[in-house]
Structure 1
Amino acid sequence: MPAKTVKAAIDELRNAVQSLEIAIDGRFDKERDVSEFEGEVRRVNEDRSRLAQELDQSQFRANRLEEVNREVSRRLVTAMETIRAVLDR
């Protein structure tokens, strides 16, 4: 009977080691997944920051173009008024 007890203990130990290896593999897989997820979150945040900066620059350019457009319109009105005044004389 002691041989069977030793064999059963060895089988239990073998099963426990196998279960531990499976658990460790699962843990490594989860850590890899978390690492990949964190990397993706980092890339998304970098993209968001870049896009926010580009949006700010685009808004600045749009505002500047609007100012220039108003100035050109004002100058055109002034030029047209000057031409009318000259033609009316």
Structure 2
Amino acid sequence: MTPTGKIMEAALNELRQAISGLENAVEMRIEHQREQGEIEGEVRRIHADRSKLAQELDQAEFRANRLEEVNREVSRRLVTAMETIRAVLDR
């Protein structure tokens, strides 16, 4: 092989290696972007779940407060009824 042929062969080998490295870098970048997209999707799902759970918690707290109010009213009415019964029995 002539010196020019050897130089050309070496240059072609370097070019092949550079192209191979570039292909690997592109594949890694694509994989990274796909993984990043999956992560972003998961984060969006988590935020949606969090919003839903926060709304359900607010509703549960509202119901608990309402039950507490109703419980106090029932208690008040029972005390009134017991006092009325005692007053009737004491006559």
Deviations 1:42-76 (A, max 9, x none): 01100110010000000000000000000000000
Runs of 4+ that moved beyond 2 A: none
Q: How many equivalent pairs are there?
A: 89
Give the C-alpha shift of residue 29 in structure 1: 1.1
Q: Could you tell me which amino acid in structure 2 is paired with residue 17 of structure 1? A: I
Supply the RMSD in Å over aligned alpha carbons. Answer: 0.6
1:38 aligns with 2:61: no
Deviation of the 1:88 alpha carbon: 0.4
Percent identity, aligned pairs only, is: 66
Within a 5 Å distance, the mapping from 1:27-66 to structure 2 comes to 27-66=29-68
Instruction: Tell me the CA shift for residue 33 of structure 1.
Output: 1.3
What TM-score, normalized by structure 2, do the two folds share? Answer: 0.95
- Partner of residue 73 from structure 1, selected from 65, 75, 82: 75
Structure 1, unmatched stretches of 5+, are none
Matches of 1:83 and 1:48, distance apart in 2: 52
Q: Where does structure 2 lack aligned partners over 5 or more consecutive residues? A: none
Map of 2:12 onto structure 1: 10
